[in-house]
Amino acid sequence: MKKIIIFLTLLSFHISMLFSESLKSPGGKLELNFYLDEKGSPIYNLNFKNIKAIKESKLGFKLKNFENFYSGFKLEGFKIDEKNEIWTPVWGHRSKIKNNYKELTAILKKNFNDKILTLKIIFRLFDDGLAFRYEFGKESGFDHFQIIDEDTEFNIGEDLNCFWLPGDYDSQEYFYEKTRLSEIDAEKKINEEGSIFTRSFINKNAVQTPFLLTNSNNKFYMLIHEAALVDYPVMHLIVDRQKFILKSHLTPSPIGDIKAFLQAPFSTPWRAIIISDKAQDIASSDVILNLNDPCSFETTDWIKPQKYVGVWWEMHIGRSTWNYSDERNLKLETTDWKSLKPNGKHGANTDNVIRYIDFAAKHNFDAVLIEGWNVGWEDWFGNWKEDVFDFITPYSDFDLKKIVAYAKSKGVKLIMHHETSASVSNYERRMEQAFDFMLKFGYETVKTGYVGWIIPRGERHDGQWMTNHYLRVVKKAAEKKLW
């Protein structure tokens, strides 16, 4: 019996090798191996120098109506490509960015009933990292389809040290924790940090990306993250604390088991592994920037990075308030906002804003952000309320015309604040009008906020619908040359 098992193991090893391919990074520091195992599951691993940084890890999906899209594949072939270019970012800490990688595309086929389905897995191997994405191409056999689970593995295989945030579909507001993989406990962490309003516990073993690992003698650092997050939910990681395997976990939609609603041709976000023997290389890596799509705007001269001060921190530390009044239970459409009783602590009042503009002018800040300028903050938060803000009505002590004129006279820009209170359906209805209001008063820059549980109810900050929303805001703003 033992002999047969050994024989089968050897056989399967042999078969898998028939369908394997290796790739070295441009400078040879990294090596990727890819193959189909004996079950037809796509497998990759990653070597960094002589270290097996990522051990044999599975790839694939569970799809609606195609439950198993992680095994039973046949290899149609490989495509090898490479790129070495320098490009110029619109803004950032470097004026030129080098994009140099080798690319391996594995083309996989699977029979499903009468259909032949195609999945492409595209690997890009840089000298400081590996990235890969799944492509459901035009000829994939898919049209409209839904993802139940993306089963991407990062098999660490050792109990490494790691820096982590607990998995949460709605918040990143945590302090990073440093433990071994086996010691991760997201539940304990969430309980220790105490409560903010929107914390959505996933499970004890869930962490967020970026997720940093290092071995105990700090021989390497490895960051797991994602790039080109477009029309897809945010990826969390579930940690197997015995086997030290991380597995992707997509932020859910409000619909049962479905995580993403897609239409081919579609490429998932890149799954990126940035790796180096120096911690500082991780922070300064351009892998994520290189993986994001090039800027699609025709002109970008209207995007002007700036330093700013904000009428906001004084609210956070309790010196003033976003709200003008302490009255409660107001309704946006029917409240007479002019006759509210002031609480005397409203931060965004004309005199105070002028003080900030003076400070910005004196100390060479480009702009002033003002939070709490518009009506609705009395009930803004935690009420599941949909029509919280209209984004066009200033409080009566915020003299918009005067402030705009004064800022202009001082050469200081104003940054508009659109707090949505996470009522995104309300914001989407009013966004066009709100942006036109900005243009009317010479604002060029907007900060949007999403505090609270998302409306449409059941959606998550990290869900597909919201990643689409964020991009929708950027596109709509760009149409009007707002940023």
Rounded to whole angstroms, how far apart are CA atoms 42 and 38? 10
465 binds its own copies (CB under 8 A): yes
Q: Is 264 in the site for its own copies (CB under 8 A)?
A: yes
Q: Using omega within 30 degrees of 0 as the cis cutoff, is the peptide bond preceding 252 cis?
A: no
Angle separating helix axes 400-410 and 350-362, nearest 10 degrees: 10
Q: Which is nearer to its own copies, 73 or 142 (CB)?
A: 142
Single-letter amino acid code for the residue at 204: K
- 331 forms part of the interface with its own copies (CB under 8 A): yes
CB–CB of 482/446 below 8 Å? yes
105 binding its own copies? (CB under 8 A): no
Residues in 234-253 at the binding interface with its own copies, rule: CB under 8 A: 253
DSSP type of residue 458 = T
Residue type, 242: Q
Residue 116's identity, in one-letter code, is I
110 binds its own copies (CB under 8 A): no
* Shortest spacing between CB 470 and its own copies, in angstroms: 14
Q: Under the criterion CB under 8 A, does residue 261 sit at the interface with its own copies?
A: yes
Q: Does 341 bind its own copies (CB under 8 A)?
A: no
Q: Which of 25, 72, 13, 77 is nearest to 53 (CA)?
A: 25
What whole-number distance in Å separates Cα of residue 476 and Cα of residue 480?
Answer: 7
Residues 136-195 that bind its own copies (CB under 8 A): 143-144, 146
Structure tokens at 276: 């180096």
Taking the least distance from each CB to its own copies, the nearer of 327 and 399 is: 327
Q: What one-character-per-residue DSSP string does 338-350 give?
A: GGPPB-S-BSS-H
Q: How many residues bind its own copies (CB under 8 A)?
A: 29
> At closest approach, how far in Å is the CB of 472 from its own copies?
8
Which of positions 425-464 make contact with its own copies (CB under 8 A)? 425, 428-429, 432, 456-459
CB of 433 to its own copies, least distance (A): 8
Bond into 265 cis (ω within 30): yes
- Site map 374..413 versus its own copies, x via CB under 8 A: -----x---xxxx---------------------------
Instruction: Return the H-helix or E-strand segment holding 85.
Output: strand 74-87
State which residue, 413 or 460, has the beta carbon closest to its own copies.
460
Identify which range of 82-90, 159-167, 254-262, 348-356 contacts its own copies by CB under 8 A.
Answer: 254-262
CA–CA separation, 381 and 257 (whole Å) = 29
Interface contacts to its own copies, rule CB under 8 A: 143-144, 146, 253-255, 258, 261, 263-264, 328-329, 331, 379, 383-386, 425, 428-429, 432, 456-459, 465, 468, 472
